[in-house]
C-alpha cells in the first residue's frame, strides 16, 4: 500500500488515514503535536505513543520534505531558499526580516500561466502546481533553519505562481500551519496574493486569511495590456469581489500596484487609482518595478514614485511604499529567476 505524505495531510485527513489502517483517531492529534508543535521527528522520542505504533510510523508515512538545494543571503538580511521540486525543477521561498516581523514568502507553482507581461515567473508557462506537502514544506524547512528563539511571524503567498490557480494545496497548507496542536499559526498573519481570479476570491474569505490583489493599473485598457487575466475579469468585477471580501471578513484588502515607468506611474494615474478604489476598504501598496533582463519595462525615477505616493496621500488614500528587499540576490518581487538563471534545462520542458 502507498505511504501517505505526512506533510500533505490536514488533521481530519490524517485521522481518516489512520482509522482506515486500524489505528486510533486521537493519534493524529498526537502526531501533529510531535511533528509540527515540538518538531520531534524521530519516532523513538515520541514517548506517549505505543512502541508498536512508533515502529510502524515509517511504514505508514513518507516524512520527506522538499529539499533546500541552495541558499543566498542579501546585504539587507533577506534570505532566499531554492527548493528542488524534482525533474530538474525548482521554486524559491524568501525570508524577509523587518523590525518586528519575519515574513516568509512562499511559492505555489512551478512557472505561472497568467502571463503578466512584467513578471519574470510569468515568462515561464506553468510546469506544474505544487502539492500540499511542498507548500507546507517550505515553511517547515525554513522554520527549522532559524536561530533559536526566532520564528516566522507572517506568510505571504507572493512567490512563484498564482495561489488561486492552486487553491486546494494553498488552503490545505494554511490549515496545517494553523492547526492548534502544531504551529498554531494565525490565519490573519497569512496573506494570499492574486492577480485577480475573481471566482476564487471567496475561497480566501472562507479560509480566514487576508487578501492582496495585484491591481497594477487603474484602467482596463492598461490592465488588459499588462495582465491578460483582466480580459476575463475586468477591474469592475475584481473590485466588487474585493469589496465583498472586505465586507465579509471585516478586513482591508491590500491592493498591490507595481509602478512601471511611463505606463502607469503618472500623477493622473494616481488620481484614477484613488477614484477607482475609494469605495473599497483597502490599503494601497506601491512597488517600484524591479528590473530584470529583457522585460521591456523600466523602474520609474525616485521622484516619480514620490509624487505618485504623495498624490494618493493628498487625496486621503491609505498608501504604503513597499521597500525593495533582497534585490542583490534576485529575491525581490517578481525577480524569482532561478528557473532561467541556474536551471536552463527547465525551460525546455
**Of residues 46-105, which lie at the interface with ligand SAH (CB under 6 A)?**
none
By a kind-dependent CB cut-off of 5 to 8 A, residue 256 interacts, out of ligand SF4, ligand SAH, none, with: ligand SAH
What count of residues does the chain have?
349
Q: Which is nearer to ligand SAH, 27 or 245 (CB)?
A: 245
181-187, long-range: CB < 8 A, 24+ apart: 181/11, 181/29, 181/32, 181/33, 181/36, 181/37, 182/32, 182/33, 182/35, 182/36, 182/37, 183/36, 183/37, 183/139, 183/143, 184/37, 185/152, 185/155
In 3-state terms, what secondary structure has residue 301?
A: coil
Alpha-carbon gap, residue 6 to 66, rounded angstroms: 12
Min. distance of Cβ 14 from ligand SAH in angstroms? 29
Give catalytic residue positions. Answer: 92, 333
Q: Which residue is nearest to ligand SAH (CB)?
A: 334
Min. distance of Cβ 325 from ligand SAH in angstroms? 11
11 forms part of the interface with ligand SAH (CB under 6 A): no
Min. distance of Cβ 299 from ligand SF4 in angstroms? 16
Cell of 242: 474585493
**Of residues 228-287, which lie at the interface with ligand SAH (CB under 6 A)?**
256, 258, 287
Pattern 107-146, binding to ligand SAH, x per CB under 6 A?
A: -----------xx---------------------------
| Strand positions, DSSP E, 64-183 | 68-73, 79-84, 90-98, 101-105, 109-110, 128-129, 154-157
- Considering only 121, 230, 249, 290, the residue that binds ligand SF4 (CB under 6 A) is 121
Contact (Cβ atoms closer than 8 angstroms) between residue 155 and residue 103? yes
Pattern 186-215, binding to ligand SF4, x per CB under 6 A?
A: ---------x------------------x-
Size of the residue set binding ligand SAH (CB under 6 A):
18
Amino acid at each position: 500500500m502507498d505511504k501517505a505524505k505526512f506533510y500533505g495531510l490536514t488533521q481530519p485527513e490524517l485521522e481518516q488515514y489512520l482509522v482506515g489502517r486500524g489505528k486510533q483517531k486521537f493519534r493524529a492529534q498526537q502526531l501533529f503535536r510531535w511533528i509540527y508543535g515540538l518538531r520531534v521527528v524521530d519516532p523513538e522520542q515520541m514517548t506517549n505513543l505505543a512502541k508498536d505504533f512508533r515502529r510502524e510510523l515509517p511504514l505508514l508515512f513518507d516524512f520527506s520534505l522538499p529539499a533546500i538545494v541552495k541558499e543566498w543571503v542579501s546585504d539587507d538580511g533577506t534570505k532566499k531558499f531554492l527548493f528542488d521540486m524534482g525533474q530538474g525543477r525548482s521554486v524559491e521561498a524568501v525570508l524577509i526580516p523587518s523590525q518586528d516581523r519575519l515574513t516568509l514568502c512562499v511559492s505555489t507553482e512551478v512557472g505561472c500561466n497568467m502571463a503578466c507581461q512584467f513578471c519574470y515567473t510569468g515568462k515561464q508557462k506553468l510546469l506544474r502546481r505544487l502539492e500540499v506537502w511542498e507548500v507546507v514544506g517550505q515553511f517547515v524547512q525554513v522554520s527549522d533553519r532559524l536561530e533559536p528563539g526566532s520564528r516566522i511571524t507572517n506568510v505571504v503567498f507572493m512567490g512563484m505562481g498564482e495561489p488561486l490557480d492552486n487553491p486546494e494545496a494553498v488552503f490545505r497548507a494554511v490549515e496545517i500551519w494553523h492547526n492548534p496542536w502544531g504551529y498554531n499559526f494565525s490565519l490573519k498573519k497569512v496573506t494570499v496574493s492574486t492577480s485577480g481570479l475573481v471566482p476564487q476570491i471567496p475561497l480566501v474569505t472562507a479560509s480566514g486569511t487576508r487578501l492582496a490583489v495585484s491591481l497594477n493599473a487603474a484602467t482596463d485598457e492598461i490592465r488588459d495590456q499588462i495582465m491578460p487575466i483582466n480580459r476575463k475579469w475586468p477591474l469592475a468585477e475584481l473590485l466588487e469581489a474585493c469589496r465583498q471580501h472586505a465586507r465579509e471578513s471585516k478586513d482591508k484588502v491590500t491592493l498591490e500596484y507595481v509602478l512601471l515607468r511611463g505606463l502607469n506611474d503618472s500623477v493622473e494615474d494616481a488620481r484614477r487609482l484613488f477614484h477607482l478604489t475609494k469605495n473599497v476598504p483597502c490599503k494601497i501598496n506601491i512597488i517600484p518595478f524591479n528590473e530584470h533582463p529583457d522585460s521591456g519595462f523600466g523602474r520609474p525615477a525616485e521622484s516619480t514614485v514620490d509624487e505618485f505616493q504623495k498624490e494618493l496621500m493628498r487625496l486621503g488614500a491609505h498608501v504604503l511604499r513597499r521597500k525593495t528587499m533582497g534585490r542583490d540576490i534576485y529575491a525581490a518581487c517578481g525577480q524569482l529567476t532561478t528557473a532561467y538563471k541556474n536551471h536552463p534545462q527547465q525551460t525546455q520542458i
